[in-house]
Amino acid sequence: MGTKVADWPQIINDRSNHDFSVLYNQHVGTVRRILARMVTSNDLDDLVQDVFVRVYRFQDSFREEADMKTWIHRICVNTVQDHYRKKRWTGLLSFGTENEPEPVARDNHAEDLQNQNFVEQALHKLSVKERIVVVLFYLEDSTIEEISDALKLPEGTIKSRLHSARIKLQSFMKKEGVDV
């Protein structure tokens, strides 16, 4: 059952094709990594599922000449933006309840976990727009052009957001006593 990358447009455009699982298996790791850097762990599984529901539901909008990776990144971005939009409204509508931030689990004996938590804390200091660009550029190794295509924004805007994010991250790191 060796489905090739070149077959993906056919898989995604053929609703009766059971090879959709191949597409899922090929991209679930990347989708999970992108989302994990943008949302809390409580929301991660639901949002991964939402992304692939959207991939299936909006498969008619996929253009065969487009890059599958860029298209799925765009769906991830839209899903995260919708998630935060819903969260904001939920927060505004819950009058008497306090929405305390989820405590970050720390294992003082594991340096890797500390570093991961530090990176997550730093990323959450950024706006959602900046965080998306940073995650795609630095953590998913997407090019400026790929990010521009995925977000449907000019390359200059992507570069500007990266620059702004770098400044904020440097400031955060200095406050935390990390040499920049």
Angle separating helix axes 144-151 and 68-93, nearest 10 degrees: 60
pLDDT value at residue 67: 82
Instruction: Please state, rounded to an integer, the average pLDDT across all residues of the chain.
Output: 77
| Rounded mean pLDDT, 150-156 | 92
Residues 5 and 83 in one domain: yes
CATH number reported for the structural domain that contains residue 132 in this entry:
1.10.10.10
Of 98, 130, 149, which residue sits at a domain end? 98
Both 82 and 3 in one domain: the answer is yes
- Does residue 32 register a pLDDT over 60? yes
pLDDT grade for 22, boundaries at 50, 70 and 90 = confident
Q: Which residue has the higher pLDDT, 66 or 127?
A: 127
Residues 76 and 15 in one domain: yes
Note the pLDDT of residue 40. 81
What residue numbers bound the domain in which 79 lies?
1-98
- Res 10: pLDDT: 58
Instruction: Give start and end residues of each alpha helix (H) in the chain.
Output: 8-13, 20-36, 41-57, 68-93, 111-123, 128-134, 144-151, 155-175
Q: Are residues 75 and 139 in the same domain?
A: no
CA distance 29 to 52: 12
Between 149 and 99, the more confident residue is 149
pLDDT for res 3: 45
Domain boundary among 98, 127, 146: 98
Neighbouring residues of 31: CB distance < 8 A, sequence distance ≥ 6: 48, 51, 52, 72, 76
Q: Rounded to the nearest 5°, which phi and psi values hold at 122?
A: -65, -45
Judgement on whether residues 94 and 112 belong to the same structural domain of the protein = no
Summarize pLDDT for 88-126 with one digit per residue, the tens.
644 433 434 444 444 444 444 456 556 667 777 888 889
Q: At CB < 8 A and 24+ separation, what contacts does 50-53 make?
A: 50/79, 50/83, 51/75, 51/76, 51/79, 52/24, 52/28
CATH number for 12: 1.10.1740.10
Residues 49 and 113 both lie in one domain: no
Pair 16, 81 in one domain: yes
Same domain, 66 and 137: no
Regarding whether 114 and 90 lie in a shared domain, the answer is no
Number of domains in the chain: 2
In terms of pLDDT, which residue wins out, 11 or 141? 141
For the whole model, what pTM was predicted? 0.57
160 and 84 share a domain?
Answer: no
- Model confidence at 135, pLDDT cuts 50, 70, 90, reads confident
Last residue in a domain, options 75, 98, 121:
98
| 82 and 120 housed in the same domain | no
